[in-house]
Amino acid sequence: MNIHVGLTPLISLVAGILILLMPKLLNFIVAIYLITIGLIGIFGTGALHFK
């Protein structure tokens, strides 16, 4: 049985939890999220395949 976990949903989950726990950091968390997703889109996940 293979379980394939994408990197983008994990980042989204962590960002959502952080926003719930620390709403004052919303701008900072959203900025980091957007930069991370942008870098993943540009460079791809390459060797970052979790099984």
The tens digit of pLDDT for each residue in 1-46 reads 566 667 778 888 888 898 899 888 889 888 888 888 888 888 876 5
CA angle 17, 22, 23 (to 5 degrees): 100
Is 48 contained in some domain? no
Is 2 contained in some domain? no
SS3 30: helix
Is 29 contained in some domain? yes
Residue 45 DSSP code: -
Cross-strand bridge partners of residue 5: 50
Is 28 contained in some domain? yes
pTM to 2 decimal places: 0.60
Please give the pLDDT value at position 39.
84
Please give the pLDDT value at position 38.
85
Please give the pLDDT value at position 41.
82
- In terms of residue numbers, what domain contains 35? 7-43
Please give the pLDDT value at position 50.
54
Is 1 contained in some domain? no
Please give the pLDDT value at position 49.
54
Number of domains into which the chain is organized: 1
